[in-house]
Structure 1
Amino acid sequence: MTLAKTVLLAIAGATLAGPAMAFHAMPTALPAGLGIEAGASTLGAYIAPTYKHDDRLGFRSPVYLGSYSIDDQFEGNDASFDIDVKSVSVLADWRPFHGNFKVSGGLAFGGYEAVAGISDPELDGISFTGKYDFKFRQKSNIVPVLSMGYDVPLGEKLSLSSELGAKLAQYEVSTDLGAIADPLVRADMESELDKINDDLGDFKATPFLSLGLAYRF
Structure 2
Amino acid sequence: MHKLMLTVAGAGMLLTTAPVMAETMSGWGAGARLSSLGYGVEVTKSLTRQLNARVGVNTFSHSDTRTEGDITYDADLSLRNANLLLDWHPFENGFRMSLGYLLSNNELDLESQSTGTVTVGNSEYELDGGYVNGTAEMGGGAYVGLGYSRAGRSGWSFTADLGVVMQGSPDVSLTSNVVGDEDLRAEERELESDLDEFDRYPVVGIGISYGF
SS of structure 1 residue aligned to 2:184: helix
Task: Name the CA shift for 1:75/1:14 in 2 (closer, same or farther; >3 Å).
Answer: farther
- 2:10 aligns with 18
- 1:161 aligns with 159
Indicate which of 190, 199, 205 corresponds to 2:185.
Answer: 190
TM-score, structure 2 length as denominator?
0.80
SS of structure 2 residue aligned to 1:24: coil
SS of structure 1 residue aligned to 2:105: strand
Contact 1:123 1:192 in 2 (8 A): no
TM-score, structure 1 length as denominator?
0.78
Contact 1:39 1:45 in 2 (8 A): yes
Identity across the alignment (%): 21
- 2:136 aligns with 136
Q: Distance in 2 between matches of 1:30 and 1:114?
A: 45
Q: Distance in 1 between matches of 2:186 and 2:68?
A: 17
Contact 2:154 2:210 in 1 (8 A): no
Count of residues in Structure 1 that have an aligned counterpart in Structure 2:
201
Contact 2:112 2:132 in 1 (8 A): yes
SS of structure 2 residue aligned to 1:54: coil
Q: Distance in 1 between matches of 2:150 and 2:18?
A: 13
Matched, 1:207 2:199: no
Q: Distance in 2 between matches of 1:167 and 1:89?
A: 10
**Deviation of residue 31 (structure 1)?**
2.2
**Deviation of residue 77 (structure 1)?**
4.1
SS of structure 2 residue aligned to 1:18: helix
Q: Distance in 2 between matches of 1:62 and 1:96?
A: 22
Task: Name the CA shift for 1:152/1:60 in 2 (closer, same or farther; >3 Å).
Answer: closer
Unaligned runs of 5+ in 2: none
The root-mean-square deviation of aligned C-alpha atoms, in Å, is 2.9
Q: What are the superposed Cα offsets for residues 2-45 of structure 1, whole Å, 9 maximum, x if unpaired? A: xxxxxxxx478434742544553522456241110112111111
- 2:172 aligns with 173
Q: What are the superposed Cα offsets for residues 106-151 of structure 1, whole Å, 9 maximum, x if unpaired? A: 111123211122134735685442222231112x4x4211121113
Q: Distance in 2 between matches of 1:191 and 1:75?
A: 12
SS of structure 1 residue aligned to 2:204: strand
Q: Distance in 1 between matches of 2:59 and 2:42?
A: 12
Indicate which of 75, 85, 89 corresponds to 1:91.
Answer: 85
